[in-house]
Amino acid sequence: MQHPIAILDSGVGGLTVAKEVMRQLPRERIIYFGDTLRTPYGPRPYEEVLRFTREIVDYLVQFGPKMIVIACNTATAVALEDIRTRVNIPVVGVIHPGSRAAIGRTKSGLIGVIGTEGTIRSKAYEHALKQLSPNIEVLSKACPRFVPLVEQGNFYSSETHEAVSESLEGLKESRMDTLILGCTHYPFLAETIQAVMGPEVSLISSAEETAREISTILHEKGKLSQGDVIPVHQFCCSGDPRLFKMIAQDWLDEQIELTPVVWQVPKIG
């Protein structure tokens, strides 16, 4: 039996991580849960995000995963250490991988971070960046308008461009050369964010680095999938399955053409 990698998110944002895992680790089976009914997590109280994350993990463990990936920055900031104490398999978040990538990219030493209110309030990125490089300067800003736009599949409209431009006001004038997209939803808006910030600013998505970390951990534990079995992925959501499926199919594109997918709408909570 092929044990899956379980990936959870507050909605569709974690698909950015799922896509990288499918690209870098094509033999691995994924079970994905997007909590689209209760998104966004950013404005919610700490205790609520913790409870939601625990509920989703409790749902996912029935599939016997060999690893859990919390592909939501807010849930990572709130619940990563808690979940690690509740399961006996590796649990990976997205904050430290994204921070490592940003440290490796910056030349000016000033790194910007945009994220949900919960992630920015937690200062999780600031702590992770300072832990890796104490002299790094960090400029953080919450962008609460982004997640609802992504969850609606509204990536390229004039409304989206206006929201991005207004939200990034103040960051554009700084001397930062690296900007962490501190929410896995934000890569859906990367084209607009890049246009607003300008070509001299490097955007960092934690997805690629997180997939590398997943690969490293599974390799070290001897749990990378072997052989030529084609994995069958499962994608679950708690809200509107039609919108979720439309966004997922558009984002994952060729990845889900290469492997079969099962779509589910489970009940949790």
**What mean pLDDT, rounded, does the chain reach?**
92
In the prediction, which pLDDT does 240 show?
A: 86
252: buried, middle or exposed (CB in 10 Å: 19+, 13-18, 0-12)? buried
pLDDT grade for 242, boundaries at 50, 70 and 90: confident
Q: Any catalytic annotation for residue 183?
A: yes
Judge contact between 92 and 21, C-beta under 8 A. Answer: no
- 143 catalytically annotated: no
Residue 239, number of CB atoms within 10 A of its CB: 17
Q: How far apart are CA 45 and CA 43, in angstroms?
A: 7
Which has more pLDDT, 37 or 262?
A: 37
DSSP the chain: --PPEEEEESSSTTHHHHHHHHHH-TT--EEEEE-TTT---TTS-HHHHHHHHHHHHHHHGGG--SEEEE--HHHHHHHHHHHHHH-SS-EE-SHHHHHHHHHHH-SSSEEEEEE-HHHHHHTHHHHHHHHH-TT-EEEEEE-TTHHHHHHTT--SSHHHHHHHHHHTTTTTTS---EEEE-STTGGGGHHHHHHHH-TTSEEE-HHHHHHHHHHHHHHHTT----SSPPP-EEEEESS-HHHHHHHHHHHHTHHHHHS-EEEE-----
What confidence tens digit (pLDDT) does each residue in 101-134 have? Answer: 999 999 999 999 999 999 999 999 999 999 999 9
pLDDT digits (tens, 9 = 90+) for 149-192: 999 999 999 999 999 999 999 898 888 999 999 999 999 999 99
**Confidence check: pLDDT of 43 > 80:** yes
- Of the listed 143, 183, 236, 237, which one is catalytic? 183
Model pTM? 0.92
Most distant CA pair in the chain: distance in Å?
53
Neighbouring residues of 130: CB distance < 8 A, sequence distance ≥ 6 = 136, 138
Residue 144: pLDDT band with limits 50, 70, 90: very high
Q: Of 72, 143, 236, 237, which residue is the catalytic one? A: 72
**Each residue's pLDDT tens digit, 15-33:** 999 999 999 999 999 999 9
Instruction: Name the pLDDT band for 257 (thresholds 50, 70, 90).
Output: low
